[in-house]
Every structure is written in structure tokens, then in C-alpha cells.
Amino acid sequence: MAVSRALAQPLTTPTDRPVYVIGAGPGGLAAAHALRARGVRAVVLERADRVGSSWRRHYDRLRLHTTRGLSALPGLPIPRRFGRWVTRDNMVRYLEKYAEFHELEIVTGVEVSRIERSADGTGWLLRASGGRELTGSAVVVATGYNHTPHVPGWPGRDAYTGEFLHAGEYRNAQPYAGRDVLVVGVGNTGAEIAVDLVEGGASRVRLSVRTVPHVMRRSTAGWAAQYSAVLVRRLPVTLVDRLARAMVRMSVPDLSAYGLPRPETGLYSRVTAGAIPVQDVGLIAAVRAGRIEVVAAVEGFEDGKVALADGGRLSPDVMIAATGYTRALEGLVGHLDVLDGHGRPVVRGGRSPRNAPGLYFTGFTNPISGMLRELAIDAEKIAKTVAKRAARHT
């Protein structure tokens, strides 16, 4: 892996300034390769000591919910021996190989805290750890969808005497064997952790649900749900909602009696609002068998107990908050007026905000067609735009 040795010295002219890519996850690596393939020097800045740091922190049993063939980054397929649903460890191996194979220029241990326009207005100034000030011709922000763990401000949590952790700290079920565990949140992470706990010997597993999710099979008769998602992603939302409703009714049993009724809002309507369907990796069977108990949403804590929205009170040994992450972009670019009211970039891929030309974002949406697939598409769009822009200035 190539590493820059001269980052303390900012480059000074548009023609010799690199494009800085912030984040050495899939999105950052893909963008760096796509830029390099078009003759543009790209330097990846990573705050951790290795590529793919967020993937290394995921729980042990994680597998991609997207197929191997539709999850590869540009210029290097994922090895067939990794199987159809790639494991966490194999995904990390792939990212390491990707950086090595494409000889990407990556600098680890550098955290960028703020992005500003350069003094001459022709590029971008990055303020980074160690007092560094780096000047680039363009910047690609690829710090990741799951950047900073989010825990709701539940009142009374300080009085809870059980063990409390965010899902980002969960690795496997071994520490929780024989214990009563409450998982809060029924996204893909919460659902899979609950299944892992059941299979790992937890004495009782309850799953707290605020908004009932769409649950769908990851694959039906060999046909991956992702294939359908790719085919319908540009169709009208209402049409996809109807098609999805019919498909789910044929493949997923009604779980209303177990506390998971079918949502009234359409599947694709939910996706456009930011809610991805839960891919079944054992949740349906565990719920139907009574091994995972669905309970109401958590409202807070009272007298050291977990208070539920329906008035129930629980005293689990362990509470795992699968309550998501924030993009945490406000400190980095919030002053540039490039974020929406939810802290998400107003544009993505090959488009820059109108008031911030040369600033690009990738990986801050969770599309129905698969995050990795869209990262690969974004990378090519960014590289094409940057190369054209550079050509106009030479």
C-alpha cells in the first residue's frame, strides 16, 4: 500500500494539488481507484490505522445482504470462494486486497476535522490532526453512513443497573449466554443480533419495536431480493409499493400475532424516507417459535427498569441499543451549507453542491439496490466529473 510522506507541506497550485478522499472504506477506496484510472492523483486520508476500519468493528456473524457479484468495487471482483453472501472477515480481506491491487495512495492515522475553501478560491483546505493543513483541488467525503453511534436520550438511564451497550460494541453472543437480553431497534442490525443471541444461548431475548419494519426474504428460490431491487429502483414509488406488497405476501408469513403486523406504509415509500427493509436471516423463524419476543418501544427508565410505551416495565440483564448511527458531518462541512435538515449531503455522486464546486459525497444514503453497488456507481461518476473539471483548467 503506497503511503504519502509529505502531507505536512500543502500543495499550492491547482495543477499539482491532489484530490483528497476522506475515508478508506469501500466508498473512499472505490473513488480513489476510479480517479487514478482517469489519471487523477487521489490521496486517501484515513483516521484509523488500516483500511475498512468500520467493517472490522461489525459483529462476528455479519454477512452482506447483497450478492457477491453486485457488491464488488470497480476494477476487482470479489473472489468466488467467498461465497454468495460475503462474511465480514472476507469483506475486510477484499478491501485490503483492493487497496494493494490498485496501488492506492493511502495515509492512515490522519483525521480531517474541517473542510474550507482554499485562500485563493481554487481548491479546498483540509484541517487535519497534528496541525496539518492540506490543500486539494477537490475533496471526496466518504466517511461512511455508520460513522458515530446514536443512542436516544432516554430519561432515567443513569439509574439502570443492567449492562448497557450500543450495537456497535456487540461482537458475538458468548458474553450473553444464559442472560436476559433486550435488543432495542428492529433494523437489520437489531434483528440479526437478536437471532445471534438466540442461537448463542441467551436465556431470553426480547426485541423492542417502535416502527414495524418491512421484513423480506434475502433470497427466494435462488432469486436474491437485491435483483428485484435493482430492476424496480427507477419505477414509480407507488407501483413498486404494490409489487412489493404482493411479493412479500407470497413469501413472508403474517407475523401480526407475534407483534410484527405488516406495515401500512409501502416498502419503497419507506425506503425513500430512509428505512431499509429487514432481510430475514432467521428472524421470522425465531419470532414464530417464540424464541424472540417482540415488545413495545422503549420510552425511558423508571426505578432502574426499562419503561415501554405500552406501560410495561422490564428488568433485563443486558440492553443492546441497535438505534443506528449519525453521519456526523456537521463539524466537517456544516458551515458550508451543503447538508439538509437531517445532516445529510444535499447531493451525492458526481454532483457537487452549487455553492461548493469540487466537493463530492458518497456513501451517505442506504439505497434499496445495495450500498456497495451504488458506491461503485458513485465512484465512476465522481471520477468522470473531476477529470472533466481538471481538463477545463489545463
So what's the pLDDT on residue 368?
85
Residue 72: which residues within 8 A CB-CB, separation 6 or more?
Answer: 78, 372, 376
Average pLDDT of the segment spanning 350-377: 93
**Residue 245 pLDDT > 60, yes or no?**
yes
Lowest pLDDT segment from 8-22, 85-99, 336-350:
8-22
Distance CA 44, CA 46 (A): 6
Burial (CB count <10 Å: 0-12, 13-18, 19+), residue 233: middle
Q: How far apart are the first and last CA of the chain?
A: 30
Distance CA 190, CA 195 (A): 9
Q: What is the assigned CATH class of domain 19-147+327-392?
A: alpha beta
**Residue 1 pLDDT > 70, yes or no?**
no
| pLDDT class of 75 with cuts at 50, 70, 90 | very high
Average pLDDT of the segment spanning 301-309: 95
**Residue 322 pLDDT > 70, yes or no?**
yes
Q: What CATH number does domain 149-324 carry, 3.40.190.10, 1.20.58.760, 3.50.50.60, 3.60.15.10?
A: 3.50.50.60
Average pLDDT of the segment spanning 7-21: 59
**Residue 14 pLDDT > 70, yes or no?**
no
Supply the pTM of this predicted model: 0.91
Residue spans of the domains in the chain: they are: 19-147+327-392, 149-324
Lowest pLDDT segment from 10-19, 266-275, 288-297, 349-358:
10-19
Domains 19-147+327-392 and 149-324 share a fold: yes
Cα three-residue angle 385-380-88, rounded to 5 degrees: 140
Cα three-residue angle 17-51-343, rounded to 5 degrees: 75
So what's the pLDDT on residue 275?
86
Residue in this structure with the C-alpha cell 456544516, named with its chain if needed: 334
